[in-house]
Chain A
Amino acid sequence: MSQSHEVELAGERLIAVAGKGLYWPSQSTLFVADVHLGKDSAMLATGIPVPFGATTETLGRLTQILHQTNAQKLVLLGDLWHAKQGRSERAYGEFIQWREDHPDVEVVLVEGNHDVKSGRLTGNVRIEEVAEKTLLHPFVLCHYPQEDPSGYVLAGHVHPAVVLEGSGRQAIKLPCFWFGDKYGVLPAFGEFTGCATVSPNSRDQVLVVADSRIFSVSCSTAA
């Protein structure tokens, strides 16, 4: 248990960070998935009274994890913006400011389903928008988890979580990194996002995130 956990993927050494990012030291590259900026402002714009704050906090955490890893490149595995209505002056303004605060970090966005609906990024954001299955050898950058012959797939989209069970009929659901043979799925980065329970198999590696720490999970086969 600690703030980070090393994993080996496609022969490369990577570090899963408790702040819900996956760092690749040799390339100084940080992967995060499903940031979902502007979900709060999208709701406000449709007349749903939620407090604004998740977007600010999510951007703050992005800054924090960039500092922590000192990454030079940030790869967003889809769903950077939650919805078009969410790009309010305020939310988008904070996003532009965030980008200006990190002028030297190269940012790549793999287009996710929410990005398609939200439309192209506007303003001087200097974010390279790339298509699904862009190669970053030995990895294939995707939004949707899938197998691909050209490499190990890194993806998001599902907001994975697992249910851990203990004696005394205890159970707890936690967001997780889920690394299989052919692809790995990152937890959703955004503050205001839910998660979905996934069913890994015994060869998969699962790391859960709780209380700003990361834990490797032991598996047992159900009776």
Chain B
Amino acid sequence: MISKLEAWFHSRGWSAFSFQKDVWNAYLNGESGLIHSATGTGKTLSAWMGPLAEWLQENPEGTFGPTLRKDSPGLRVLWITPLRALAADTEKSLQLPLEDLGIPWTVEIRTGDTSQGLRKKQNEQLPTALITTPESLMLMLTRSDSEELFGDLRCIVVDEWHELLSTKRGVQTELALARLRHLRPEVRTWGVSATLGNLGGALDALLGPKNNGITVQGHLEKEIVIDCVLPKNIARFPWSGHFGVTMVPAVVEAIEGGGSCLIFTNTRSQTEIWHQQILDSRPEWKDEVAIHHGSLDRSVRDQVESDLKSGKLRAVVCTSSLDLGVDFSPVDRVLQVGSPKGVARLLQRAGRSGHRPGVPSRVTCVPTHAFELVDIASARAAALAGHVEARKNLSKPLDVLAQHLVSIAVGAGFRSDDLLAEVRSTDAYQTLTDEEWQWVLDFVVRGGESLRAYPEYRRVVKGDDGVYRVVDKDIAKRHRLTIGTIVSDSAMTVQMVNGSRLGTVEESFLTRLNPGDRFLFSGKLVEFVRVRDMTAWVRKATKRTGIVPRWAGGRVPLTTELSHAIRQELEHVKFGELRSPEMKSLAPILELQARWSAIPAENELLIERVQTSEGHHLFVYPFEGRLVHEGLAALFAYRLSRNQSITFSMACNDYGFELLAPEEANLDAALVNGLLSSVDLAADIVASLNAAEMAKRQFREIARIAGLVFEGFPWMNKSTKQVQATSGLFFDVFARYDPQNLLLRQAEREVLERQLEQSRLGEALVRLQQANILMTYPPKPTPMAFPILVDRLRGTVTSENIGDRIQKMSLKLDKEADS
């Protein structure tokens, strides 16, 4: 059979790679596994052609001529993709060999974008191969006929598995895979992944911890060049901010170089600003430079994607929304605006360029403020040394499990023992205890232990036959609408008063706007008119003043690998070695930093104490990335505030954190008394995260996934509003009336493990204990302190009595409201 496939490759002037043949043979032998290869190297066909070979074995004569939908075989291959945008490309790739090989299969897509007409056809008969997302797959599992639906399923392919790994979406996929394996024990599962630090973990998550899966190594990453646009005048280059507009001419020059260009930024609002800036310097590129990010309307994004493919566009300014993709429009040039934030991320973005043989992939970084030059130099050093981030598998998130239980109860229903065994067969839930299972079951049946006696509550009901089902049609319908684990701020549609939909924006941003305020969206400068019917109505702005620039708060933290690389880079600086063009360019600012304060070596912890009109600042620089700093800041503030009555406001970035208080903190005594000590560390961390209300913030995601917060939909009855509450309110209600609720514990655990990366936090503390404290008293905030100082997003830890705090505070009056 393999020879038939090879002949097809030859007929197209290609030849099959040996790793592709390895996968086909393994598939025919009934094996499952993980294909691991660089982007654009034939991964799709390696996973796809095994099932085709199997068909040809069973039907050696082949069926040539047009394929009628009704004559095609039922579902045999399920192709799971993390990104809807990839589905159309994948469909084309999968279609390609069918006709030539005489295989009468249909290939279709089913995602949230699928038309009603096609859905209806699919509900009657599924295609032979179905491309879908984890969410749409879960939806199919809520059908009562799911067992028949997947009755002839032979193969599941999970594309871009590295994207799903270590996310709740990935865990949801694990549960769905376990379900499918339960329905069809002999089904083979193949994961397709780009470069990863931990292949074993990826394979376990895909197939469950007890697996005989194989790993097939495809092509390694090709040569990658990471370079940087250096600021012309470093003295004038800003110390903070993320606009970096002085770099616009350099970016325009790069675009002018010819060919197609992707310009990656780290936030959606940055995308809007850069798009605008580029068009301001080259108005004639109006139709050649487009914008792409996750908040834009689907139709807008589709247009940009197809224009990019057809070569109509010179450049697209985008976020990670265009990160993915195997055959997804290779480009000639890739720019990264702002810090790369991680090594794997930068390598993946670089991989979007240079698909021609012999040409290296290249990414050009564009710093937006001074210290990003350090990030760039460090990222390159780490990439050269092969220090790529590992993706850690998540362990038993109970919110995802609660959602899954309701999904299965909506569908075929389940028996407790059967489903428990199935759930435990996944990597994520292999250590799920009987108590945890019982709790989640109680939670979906009764709403948790404390809801035992509420007759009005009926979500999942246990029948006399011992099967758990959802009987209430409204609850089933509502559950189907909320399946998924992607939690965003409650979003509102943005629409022009004269018609077209532009996309969606976080509600929290819109509530801060007044009519007449202007902001950039979808590459347009618009003026806010009003909010009505869950829609923000805008019109084209005429004046260009008073622009509100920021509307997305998303921040990507620096990874461990990159943090480590930065500490090493600074160590070299400390000893007078500027190893790269970036560090050389930054020399004057590093010199100023050394003069006002110091550059810390790897074994030093720099603490700067500065007094300004705002109060007493402590700047501490562990260089561990913003997530760990959030935890360290809360821990420092908590421990400092135990010995004196004081209130700290805290801010942090990837280099360090700031504690600010009206009074001077007694730091010296605290350092002697174990500010960095590991004694009582676990208890102190929990106390400090409660003090900083971090678990409450984390609860937002959990409340949504576990089905507490229901955002409602525009077409639904307004009365759904009556059963809505914010996750913060839910958190308070649970903390007060059901403090043992495991979802609260999960919030705490997630903050510790995921958000604060407790293990990293512990490791960081151990490192800091050994470090020499380098205390400096700069005359004013230093170049390193400045970016933290200007951060408006702040947490608070206090040991003061609230009455005392209120006495010292006042209500700032709005001038307009006062007139």
Using CB atoms and an 8 Å cutoff, list the residues of chain A in contact with chain B.
Answer: 1, 39-54, 82-83, 85, 88-90, 114, 117, 162-172, 174, 191-194, 199-202, 206, 208, 210-211, 213, 215, 217-222
Pairwise interchain contact A39-B708, C-beta atoms closer than 8 A: no
Answer whether residue B736 sits at the interface, using C-beta atoms and an 8 A cutoff: yes
Bound Cα distance from A110 to B677, whole angstroms:
59
Pairwise interchain contact B803-A199, C-beta atoms closer than 8 A: no
The residue that A48 contacts in the complex, of B446, B648, B710, B741, with Cβ under 8 A, is B710
Give the contact-size bracket for chain B: 35 or more
Bound Cα distance from A50 to B729, whole angstroms:
11
The residue that B813 contacts in the complex, of A45, A170, A194, A200, with Cβ under 8 A, is A200
18 residue pairs bridging A and B, Cβ less than 8 Å apart = A46-B478, A47-B478, A51-B741, A85-B722, A165-B810, A167-B615, A167-B662, A168-B616, A168-B660, A169-B660, A170-B796, A170-B809, A171-B796, A194-B725, A194-B726, A202-B813, A211-B802, A222-B814
Grouping DSSP codes into helix (H, G, I), strand (E, B) and loop, the B interface class, with mixed when no group exceeds half, is: mixed
Nearest A-chain residue to B472, judged by Cβ: A47
Given contacts A51-B733, A85-B723, 11 further A-B contacts (CB under 8 A): A48-B707, A49-B444, A50-B447, A50-B733, A53-B733, A168-B661, A168-B662, A169-B614, A169-B794, A194-B726, A217-B811
Residue from B458, B660, B736, B737 whose CB has the most chain A CB atoms within 10 Å: B737
**B265 vs chain A, min Cβ distance (A):** 28
Bound Cα distance from A47 to B794, whole angstroms:
36
Bound Cα distance from A82 to B741, whole angstroms:
24
**B788 vs chain A, min Cβ distance (A):** 12
Pairwise interchain contact A221-B723, C-beta atoms closer than 8 A: no
Nearest B-chain residue to A87, judged by Cβ: B456
Pairwise interchain contact B708-A50, C-beta atoms closer than 8 A: yes
The residue that B738 contacts in the complex, of A51, A174, A191, A200, with Cβ under 8 A, is A51
**In the complex, which residues of chain B have a beta carbon less than 8 angstroms from the beta carbon of A47?**
457-459, 472, 474-475, 478, 707
**B647 vs chain A, min Cβ distance (A):** 6
The residue that B734 contacts in the complex, of A42, A51, A199, A213, with Cβ under 8 A, is A51
Answer whether residue B448 sits at the interface, using C-beta atoms and an 8 A cutoff: yes
Residue from A170, A191, A219 whose CB has the most chain B CB atoms within 10 Å: A170
Pairwise interchain contact B729-A192, C-beta atoms closer than 8 A: yes
Nearest A-chain residue to B808, judged by Cβ: A166
Pairwise interchain contact B662-A220, C-beta atoms closer than 8 A: no
**In the complex, which residues of chain B have a beta carbon less than 8 angstroms from the beta carbon of A1?**
803, 806-807
**In the complex, which residues of chain A have a beta carbon less than 8 angstroms from the beta carbon of B733?**
40, 50-51, 53-54, 191-192
Pairwise interchain contact B806-A222, C-beta atoms closer than 8 A: no
Contacts A47-B457, A52-B454, A194-B726 given; indicate if A220 touches B813 (C-beta within 8 A). yes
The residue that A45 contacts in the complex, of B456, B794, B796, B805, with Cβ under 8 A, is B456
Nearest A-chain residue to B651, judged by Cβ: A169
B676-714 Cβ-contact flags toward A at 8 Å (1 or 0):
000000000000000000000000000000111010000
Bound Cα distance from A219 to B815, whole angstroms:
12
Residue from B660, B707, B813 whose CB has the most chain A CB atoms within 10 Å: B813
**In the complex, which residues of chain B have a beta carbon less than 8 angstroms from the beta carbon of A53?**
733, 736-738
Pairwise interchain contact A199-B614, C-beta atoms closer than 8 A: no
The residue that B723 contacts in the complex, of A48, A169, A210, with Cβ under 8 A, is A48
Pairwise interchain contact B818-A220, C-beta atoms closer than 8 A: no
The residue that B448 contacts in the complex, of A49, A165, A192, A211, with Cβ under 8 A, is A49
Answer whether residue B443 sits at the interface, using C-beta atoms and an 8 A cutoff: yes
Bound Cα distance from A174 to B450, whole angstroms:
30
Answer whether residue B55 sits at the interface, using C-beta atoms and an 8 A cutoff: no
**A51 vs chain B, min Cβ distance (A):** 4
Nearest A-chain residue to B449, judged by Cβ: A51
Pairwise interchain contact A168-B615, C-beta atoms closer than 8 A: yes
**B716 vs chain A, min Cβ distance (A):** 12
**In the complex, which residues of chain B have a beta carbon less than 8 angstroms from the beta carbon of A211?**
802-803
**A79 vs chain B, min Cβ distance (A):** 11
Bound Cα distance from A218 to B809, whole angstroms:
8
Answer whether residue B817 sits at the interface, using C-beta atoms and an 8 A cutoff: yes
Contacts A44-B451, A85-B723, A117-B719 given; indicate if A170 touches B647 (C-beta within 8 A). yes
Pairwise interchain contact A218-B450, C-beta atoms closer than 8 A: no
Pairwise interchain contact B738-A222, C-beta atoms closer than 8 A: no
**In the complex, which residues of chain B have a beta carbon less than 8 angstroms from the beta carbon of A166?**
647, 662, 805, 808-810
Pairwise interchain contact A206-B614, C-beta atoms closer than 8 A: no
